[in-house]
A and B are shown apart, each in its own frame.
Chain A
């Protein structure tokens, strides 16, 4: 069974700092990996989708990488802002369902 782990569980950084969130998964047979943002009590907002054949994707200040063979992905956030404060979830798509990690709770201090 696919298991997804996210480290760290929580992170607090001063505004302007660059940061990296980590995601690991146990089974490399995936279609893709998707990073989401979730604000308290809200739904999930898609940030980046990386297909299994891709190495990375970029959107603005966000960059996500995927190393399928080692079962790892990282989300890099440049020049963090207080508005980036949220929980970040990674999920791997096996074709029929997503497996989610428990998320990293990020707080950016002004």
Chain B
């Protein structure tokens, strides 16, 4: 049983460009959350998707947007990339609320 799958593993983009990161949740999970982890910091919550709707959002600008598909997979889009967006982006899936989260291996985004 595959856990959470994220793609791509690594990505290098130029400032001002747009990027799309993808996540396939663990089988049986219906909720997907995205986190940004800067070097040496704990992960910071970006948003959570449930039933194809954004259920909760953290303190991130509108440049960060997402989508959840009917098969529960999800995308994270970041527009107008800044150098400060360089980070490890983690996707986590769960079965609705309160059942614990399973994390993927992350996508390392570098903005130059």
The one of B42, B45, B98, B104 in contact with A89, judged by C-beta atoms closer than 8 angstroms, is B42
A42 to B97, CA, bound (A): 25
Residue tally, chain B, CB below 8 Å to A? 26
Closest CB in chain B relative to A106 CB, distance in Å = 15
Say whether B101 contacts A34, CB under 8 Å: yes
A36 — which chain B residues lie within 8 A by C-beta?
103
- Judged by a CB distance under 8 angstroms, whether B106 is at the interface is yes
Q: What CA separation (Å) do A26 and B56 show in the bound complex?
A: 20
Which of A41, A95, A98 is the one whose CB lies under 8 Å from B43? A98
Whether A43 contacts B101 in the complex (CB less than 8 A), given A96-B55, A98-B45, A103-B42, comes out as: no
Give Cα distance in the complex from A49 to B92, angstroms: 15
Q: How many interface contacts (CB-CB < 8 Å) are there between A and B?
A: 65
| Number of A residues with CB within 8 Å of any CB on chain B | 25
Minimum C-beta distance from A105 to chain B (A): 9
What residues on A are CB-neighbors of B71 within 8 Å? none
Closest Cβ neighbor of B31 among chain A residues: A96
**Which residue, B43, B58, B90, B102, has most C-beta atoms of chain A within 10 A?**
B43
Take A32-B98, A93-B98, A97-B48 as given contacts and tell me if A102 and B103 are in contact as well, using a CB distance cutoff of 8 Å. no
Contact present for A99 and B103 (CB under 8 Å) = no
Closest to B43 in A: A100
Interface residues of A (CB under 8 A from B): 4, 31-32, 34, 36, 41-46, 49, 51, 89, 91, 93, 95-103
Interface of B with A (CB < 8 Å)?
6, 33, 35, 40-45, 48, 55-56, 58, 88, 90, 92, 97-98, 100-106, 108
14 pairs of residues in contact across A and B, judged by CB atoms under 8 Å = A4-B42, A31-B97, A32-B98, A34-B100, A43-B105, A44-B92, A46-B102, A91-B43, A93-B97, A93-B101, A96-B48, A98-B33, A98-B45, A102-B40
